[in-house]
A and B are shown apart, each in its own frame.
Chain A
Amino acid sequence: MMDKLPKWADILLVPLISLLLAALVSALVLLAIGQSPMQALTVMVNGAIVSPYGWGYTLYYATSFIFTGLAVSVAYHAGLFNIGAEGQAQLGGLGVALACLFLPWPHWSLALVGAMVGAALFGAAWAAIPAWLQAKRGSHIVITTIMFNYIAAAVLIYLLVEVLRPAGQMDPASARFPATTSLPQFQDIPGLQSLFLRYAADGTVRLNAEGLPLYQKVPANVTFFLAILACVGVWVMLWHTRLGYMIRAFGKSEKAARYAGISAVKITMTVMLISGALAGLMAINNVMGQSERLLQNSAEGAGFIGIAVALMGRNHPVGVFLAAILFGFLYQGGAALGLETAIPIELRTVVQGLVILFTGALDQMVRMMLGWAFRARRTV
């Protein structure tokens, strides 16, 4: 019924067309509310790419999205749709906070390792119960992970309000982490540093009270490089290890996997633990690298954006990386929109939803459209 598309078209064109469709519909929405799509795009580009400050934020967001995107992808390769990255990332934040607050760290690099362990453990733990229920009792993982997102939010509110909030503080947040756990941000990294110098109107470098140069502070931090490593790691794991082989085989055909002696329970558990750990690791970026304390709703929806990122990136680490950058742009650009124009920041939620819709649910439609185009070209 449907013409088969060439592989390159399936990998490149389908997500691209989906993205264009999402952009088109968003533009229509903007027109409908009397805003100019072109102006919106200009503001977004200026706010998110043009200045080092802008892309400092874009990459910060992208870092989070890479982790959650990988989390969703890894599970997806095993045929599991993990909607719980949000909750797992929040729990990961808890792990980071506990590691940073209650253990003495002499240096950030050690703290980073410790916090990573905490983040991964807590994220994985939060994925473990839905995984176990899926593996052993056949409870649909989509529903259980949704439920666990809500439960995670409740757990965090309780802990932040009743346990972690320092005496005398009014907002529900943990104490600040000690300075020794502070991760280098881009403006602290030699080599990148000079990009972020602050200039006065006359073009001279601005100095602080002690006469040292002032830098623009961006939240992008060393976690970005960890995210790249995670991409490579996931790629190696999926396509160059036995585990990855078994995950993919299980994801393609559960029955055949059983024939090959691949245990459904083991793979489901392992893959969800990895997925949860990846989602949890996101917290290194936002909790340790940025806010340096645990806030309520720290993941800010990045877990859900992971779904869009994974779909858009075709569940391949390279694709996830690119899609995460795209969504980082969308997020930072959206923030610029909120500041500079009358367009509500929620526009980015709409775009995000549309991208998921076109890449994940209407992909057949996109393929059919492309199929027609290919046939038309052949007959011409």
Chain B
Amino acid sequence: DPAIIYDLGGKFDKSFNEAAFNGAKKWAEETGGTFKELEMQSEAQREQALRQLAESGANPIVMTGFAFGDTLNTVAPDFPDTKFAIIDMVVEQPNVKSVVFTEHEGSYLVGMMAALASKTGTVGFIGGMDIPLIRRFGCGYAEGVKAVNPDATVVLNMTGTTPAAWNDPVKGAELAKAQKSQGADVIYAAAGGTGIGVLQAAADEGILSIGVDSNQNHLHPGKVLTSMTKRVDNAVYNAFNDGEAMTAGLTVMDLKADGVGYAMDDNNAALVTDEMKAKVEEAAAKIKSGELKVHDYMSDNTCPAATF
């Protein structure tokens, strides 16, 4: 059986981990297969979780989150016959598949959307743990905003410096309220479970929010502008489908490959005008064709559009 390990924040974070869960669920529903799953409770458990699943014969084993990288590097060689897949991190081992996403591209599109929807000219970004990966979200977003409105202000906040930042809705809500008081009327949350608090506070305060990873538009219908979808579900689904035959190596899921995007559905149809959509689609096409290149924070740890 395949297996999946969710990172801190948990399977039901309505965001990153839940997207992974949805992919696994889809696979199970389609194939009728069963899979094992584990949720992390603390940093120190990672190795035991990995080993325990591998010992139990699970194959392949998918894990969500960069934080598994170091552990996987030491565990994978002990189980040469087991296939591993890790999301958001590159681990170079003969039996590991690494899946990374071009979050800056998706964030660029929702940044444009935010700038188009904003009336105040100020928009917000609330990141989870302050790491280069999340800055990649923030940087792409800021670039998208500036592309539409070069005078716009982007208020950037990070929730914390430890994995606890993925699961702190109280702090998310307070940061959202603070950003509103600074004039932001659209806030993009790239913070896992913390985002629940951001979206809730935005809805309570009567401003718009942007979800992340999963399609979160339904959480507060008519109040979530859109969601930057990161198709973790597809990555998990594909890995499960490949089964033991999964090939090792790096897979980049970009806009062109539908790895990232923005979500449109009934819940936000009224918020997004055709004109807005047209502008965003135009940019998307340029990115796919390579005509427009969004800056990747992780390529040089700098961001031309924003300072962190």
Contacts and interface: CB of A to CB of B under 8 A. Distances in A.
Direct touching of A and B (C-beta under 8 Å): yes
Interface of A: 53, 57, 157, 161, 169-173, 176, 208-209, 214, 216-217, 219, 286, 290-293, 295-298, 300, 335-336, 338-339, 345
B299 interface: no
Interface string B164-203: 0000000000000000000000000000000000000000
A295 B44 contact: yes
B162 A216 contact: no
In the complex, the 6 A-B pairs of residues with the closest C-beta atoms, listed nearest first: A170-B131, A171-B67, A161-B161, A295-B43, A300-B44, A296-B43
A301 B179 CA distance: 36
Interface stretch (B52-60, B142-150, B216-224, B281-289): B52-60
A291 B52 contact: no
9 contacts: A161-B162, A171-B70, A173-B43, A208-B80, A292-B74, A296-B163, A297-B44, A339-B52, A345-B41
B294 to A, nearest CB: 21
A356 to B, nearest CB: 20
A290 B41 contact: no
Contacts of B44: 286, 291, 295, 297-298, 300
A171 B80 CA distance: 26
A171 B71 CA distance: 11
B55 to A, nearest CB: 6
Nearest to A296: B43
Contacts of B35: none
Contacts, number: 63
A290 B74 CA distance: 11
B80 A209 contact: yes
B246 interface: no
Contacts of B48: 57, 219, 335
A300 B70 contact: no
A335 B52 contact: yes
B78 A217 contact: yes
Given A290-B47, A296-B162, A339 B36 contact: yes
A57 B55 CA distance: 13
B42 interface: yes
Interface in B197-237: none
B132 interface: yes
A172 B44 CA distance: 12
Contact of A157 (B41, B133, B161): B161
Contacts of B69: 171
A170 B38 CA distance: 22
B256 interface: no
Interface in B149-163: 161-163
